[in-house]
Structure formats: C-alpha cells, structure tokens
Amino acid sequence: MKLPSPRLSKKKHFPIFVLFGCEYYPWQMMSLFRAMRGKVADSDLIQTSLFGYNITLVRHRYNMTIGEIPLWDETYAPISVKNKIVLDIGAGMGESAAFYFGKGAKKVVAVEPNPQDYTLLKENASKNSWNLDPIQDVFKLEQLSIPHDLAKIDCEGGEVILLSYKNSLGPCVIESHSAEITRDLVAKFHFDSIVNPRGKELDVRLLINSK
C-alpha cells in the first residue's frame, strides 16, 4: 500500500493549511485536531516502516517525520550512537527512538508528557522489542543526570530551563524555539554548530554539540 506523501502537488485547487511545516487539505484538518486533543480514530493512524522498524504514528506526525528525515540524518546524531545510550526528551510516538535504534543505539531513555504520544511510544517499543525506558513527564533538569551518551531535546520551548543548568551538556541536539532562547543558550554553552531546520520558521534552530 502506498503511503501518503507529506507534500502536496504544486497545483493547489483547494485551500491549503500549513502546520508544523506540513501542508493539509481542509478535509484532513479534523483528523489533525483530534490528534492534537489526544483523541485518535483508527483512520488517523498509519502503520509504517521507519528506519527498519514497523511503527504506528498519527497521520500528521507521520507527515512531519517523513519531511524531516533528511534533516535528522544530517543533525540528530552528531556522534555515533552505536552501542550507546540516547536520552530522547520529547520522544513523541517513538519516531526518533526508531531513528536511533536504526543507527545501532544500545538503549533509549524516552521522555514524553503527552498521554496519546506516550501510549503509542510504549506500543511501538513493545512490538519492536526496543531496549527503551519510557518516562511520562515534562522536561526537567534532573533528567540530564540519567546516564546517557547523547541527549536529543525537543520540548517546544521547555528548553529554556537549560539556562539554569550548572553543568556542561556534552554531546547533544537541542531544538530551540525562539530567537531569545537561542541567543542565551549559545552564549551559555557555545555550541559547535547552529542549524536552521525550517526556512519558514526563522526562530527555530538546532543547537548541536559533538563533544
């Protein structure tokens, strides 16, 4: 079965809505709103293969992930994660865990606060026999004390609490969601590189350390 494309034809005969960098027809919006409210119908779910694993995603998350895979290949693993532990903060439904296990990670500690996402995260981990420790919680600084070799932090503005962190971050990939947070984090931690992942969202940056 051919999976839906995250991008639409350039011939736009109907109104197009753009959310999270993905485009949607009007009749797709109800599924998206149900997902955002934590309510999922069977028709909203997609069974797909990502990075060699069969996982279930909500349709709008599938669209987002497919669109971001080239970016992940370039930025989400600034060090080799083979036989290493990844702290995945903002783990979603397991799409980034699949990415890291696909690259040979030994273990993923997955932090996700959203109940719907967390349920699918655990289901995807179970059916793929991942060595994954799920934590249903918002991002907290004490989570950085969990042993890990790489931290991926994407928590929709929650990264601001890093400004009160007293230690070095080590290898990490952090998605910063405002120009002010980016400026202050860069001044504090002096990242190796800064990437603009989405041309339209000028305030979003990936802050990357490889050591």
Q: Yes or no: is domain 71-209 CATH 3.40.50.150?
A: yes
Q: Is 79 exposed, middle or buried (0-12, 13-18, 19+ CB in 10 A)?
A: middle
Those residues with Cβ within 8 angstroms of residue 130's Cβ, 6 or more apart along the chain or in another chain:
94, 97, 101, 108, 124
Claim: this prediction has a pTM higher than 0.85: no
Taking only the tens place, the pLDDT of each residue in 108-117 is: 999 999 999 9
Q: Strand 150-153 relative to strand 132-135: parallel, antiparallel, unpaired?
A: unpaired
Q: What is the mean pLDDT of the chain?
A: 84
Taking only the tens place, the pLDDT of each residue in 166-203 is: 999 999 999 998 999 999 999 999 999 999 876 655 78
Helix (H, G, I), strand (E, B) or coil at 8: coil
Return d(Cα 182, Cα 204) in angstroms, integer.
Answer: 8
**Predicted confidence band at 92 (pLDDT cuts at 50, 70, 90)?**
very high
